[in-house]
Structure 1
Amino acid sequence: MNLKVSIHQPHYLPWAPYIYKIIRSDVFVFLDDVQFDCSDYQHRNYISKGRNRLLLTIPVRHEHTFVNINESKIVNLYWKKKHLKSIFQFYNQTLSNSLCK
């Protein structure tokens, strides 16, 4: 029996190929015990519609420079509500603008 095993670091708001990779795998491993990279998509990502883009970032804090993803601490507990509101307003505004043209 052949099992398809996939491993990937967790990403905030993963894109379609990432989800497809999970679906096609028999076993999927979230590799979260590797170094956190503050310039990567582990805690932030863009939402986009056409040429418009908005960066959403989960506020994290680290006690020292080299920290694993699973050791990251979220600073603000209200980021979820803020992100949901931003997503709704962004796509609502973008949709309204495209319908008015």
Structure 2
Amino acid sequence: MPASFAVHQPAFLPWPGFFAKAMRAEVLVLADAVPFSTGFTWVNRNRVKGPGGEVRLTVPVLRRGRGVQLIRDVRVSPEPAWRTKHLRTLDHCYADAPYHPDLRGPIRDLYAAAPERLLDWNLSLLEILRPYFEPGAAGWVLQSELGVTGRGTELLARIGRALGAGRLVAPRAARAHVDTAVLGRSGIEVEWFAYVPPVYPQLWGAFRKDLSALDLACTCGPRAADIVRRACRPWAP
């Protein structure tokens, strides 16, 4: 059983900070059995960079008549136009990036397969990015596979108990949302870390922080993991 764990929603082409968590914990639990936000969320969108600056990629999802959905149940639009637009955008943004050719084929294969569930899109993209970011030994596991539900810190405690893990890895930005007393009652301590968005070589002019990790992978390739690793340091409240 893992000694440490982190928790994050399964984002679409997530930012490098997502992988900072995954790299510092033995296992990353993807919270797929929580409600899909009815407002803004990174679960179905993220940002890349093109000649004109930041470009947002959004996966259209089916909402009408479906009420509040869990992330694992969300279906994407079957219309092909958005997929074509995404692929054209990525080619336009990264045609000159040194490692784009390595990523282009797997991404195009996924867009051709067009899974029905948003979760399957996001998991597939995580696997495509995985070799560049070296997640912990156990990789990631779905919350739904652990059979736990809940909200807030109580959910974190239940996940820790289900894993048999005694340490939650969390960024200092999450401090206001984590009740250490609740975790302590389950024998779980918190390993805090500070993450400072790294500056790395980008295409298209002035640096833009917190883009999708795809931007980092396309431009820096095998150096991406070390760049993210050096952006983290232990932190104590």
Deviation for aligned residue 1:49: 5.2
Give the corresponding residue for 2:23. 23
User: 1 CA distance for matches of 2:51 and 2:85?
Assistant: 22
User: 1 CA distance for matches of 2:2 and 2:43?
Assistant: 30
Deviation for aligned residue 1:77: 5.9
Q: Which amino acid aligns with 2:34?
A: V
Give the corresponding residue for 1:66. 68
Q: Which has the higher strand share?
A: 1
SS at structure 2 position matched to 1:20: helix
User: 1 CA distance for matches of 2:2 and 2:73?
Assistant: 34
Deviation for aligned residue 1:33: 0.7
SS at structure 2 position matched to 1:36: coil
* TM-score between both structures, scaled by the size of structure 1: 0.76
1:15-38 deviation line (CA, Å, top 9, x unaligned): 111112112211111001111114
- More relative contact order, 1 or 2 (CA 8 Å, 6+ apart): 2
Q: Larger Rg: 1 or 2?
A: 2
Q: Which amino acid aligns with 1:35?
A: P
Percent identical across equivalent pairs?
28
* TM-score between both structures, scaled by the size of structure 2: 0.36
User: 2 CA distance for matches of 1:58 and 1:2?
Assistant: 33
Q: Which amino acid aligns with 1:44?
A: R
Provide structure 2 residue ranges, at least 5 long, that are not aligned to the other structure: 97-202, 206-237
- 1:67-82 superposed matches below 5 A: 67-76=69-78, 78=80, 79-82=82-85
Number of residues of Structure 1 aligned to a counterpart in Structure 2: 96
When residues 50 and 83 of structure 1 are mapped into structure 2, their CA distance, relative to the original with a 3 A threshold, is closer
SS at structure 2 position matched to 1:73: coil
Structure 1 stretches of 4+ with a deviation exceeding 6 A read none
When residues 19 and 26 of structure 1 are mapped into structure 2, their CA distance, relative to the original with a 3 A threshold, is same
1:45 pairs with 2:53: no
Give the corresponding residue for 2:32. 32
User: 2 CA distance for matches of 1:53 and 1:74?
Assistant: 23
Deviation for aligned residue 1:9: 0.4
